[in-house]
Structure 1
Amino acid sequence: MTILVTGASAGFGASISRTLVKAGYQVIGAARRQDKLQHLSQELGAAFLPLEMDVTDTNSVDQALASIPEQWAQIDLLVNNAGLALGMEVAQEANFADWERMIHTNVLGLTYVTRKILPQMVQNNKGYIINLGSTAGSWPYKGGNVYGATKAFVRQFSLNLRTDLVGTRIRVTNVAPGLCGDTEFSNVRFRGDEDRVQAVYENISYLKPEDIANTILWLYQTPAHVNVNHIEIMPVSQTFAGLSVTRDLA
């Protein structure tokens, strides 16, 4: 059985790959940055196959998947992890190019990879798709606009996938993490502004990539008759409670 993890070069993807390989599985780690994949390959050994792939480029996805060796080609678990957030400007001030890139990566990239892998799962009547959503897909926050919308799409797409697959043995789960540190997420969002990055996590006990990786492993190892539709995970320090109210607004 082979597992394909997108966005495997860092953060959640790298941690998920490590955890699954250590648990005894064969993992294909796909990402744009081949240098980081090679470092991960040296660390994890023969059970990890680095695959250069840009999910926003359909030709790149086609070529990458076609290059997978035959003994790795039967994908039993697809972890759609590749994604990003860019900026936190309010909608009327946001950079539209950032919106486009988030949509291309978080929505179009995820759906294209899924569409490429799903037919073989249906043919074999076996498989599992785990999509990495976000609490931002359920709970809006200022500046979350299109990023949150893309993650709401991921959740709904996951639910509709499972509906389309009724009568099959294929499982689908949307995993929605909350505030998580020790990744490149905020570095990418704030374009390397370390002061802004540090401010996000200052004095907070946040989730770690290993927490999400262990969740993925648990999900994969649940009995084949169990389907977890959606799982939302926040650190204890974070909550969705309390709606914003502006006083004396004429």
Structure 2
Amino acid sequence: MARIDVQSDTELDSPTLVEGLPGLGLVGKIAGDHLVSSLDLDYYAGVHCEGIPQVSVYRANSSDLMPPVRLYANDDGTFLVLQSDIPVSPQAAGGFAECITSWIAENDVTPLYVSGLPSEKEADVPDVYGIATGEGSDLLDDAGIVPPPEGGLVSGPTGALLAEASEQGVTGVGLIAEASSQFPDPEAARSVLEYGVEPLADVEVDTDDLVEQAEDIREARERLAERMQQAEADESSQAQPLRMFQ
């Protein structure tokens, strides 16, 4: 049965919600995980909607099981993060979006959806654009977030969430960040947090850890490119560990 299983006594107070589903560049996933960790958010509810595989998650040094998709909240109930450890099936994205959006509408939640826009350029500060549902355009204007320079579409579960929010008349925002289509992109996640989430949700987020991750991943990309070039020039066949993110 589709439901949001609340496990907390925290009372919600017209909160802003950041969606952290895995997607291109893992932008939303990285941003969501960082928010839960850096803001020390508390487990609020388990999400049991269509499209979520029936699996259980456990953490290091803990015997407690948790659902793979969860909601976390701050102490005063004004800020939420939708955290996911697994992708939502695109085939069931419609049912998932309807389940989540109905709960959002019932609880006066303002959602911020996150999506990556494929980009090949190596920008130190990836651009972030905004799209809106309901009266979300006013929120974007107040935050100084501009619309995308070209037309496009948002696909997958995040696209379904935006479509359902629009259909139900929910005021929300879609944050679209230029991101790598081949690698996790903490630089894009950092831009989303600094130029999207902070002004829209009125929160302060320390992104120093994401800067360090970005540098490590950039070096890993360069090492991979060097290995690929060497492999093309080498006539012999061999196997070796890549150790991508070490």
Do these two structures clear the TM 0.5 threshold for a shared fold by scoring above it?
A: no
Structure with a larger share of its residues in helix: 1
Structure with a larger share of its residues in strand: 2
Q: TM-score, normalised by structure 1?
A: 0.37
Q: TM-score, normalised by structure 2?
A: 0.37
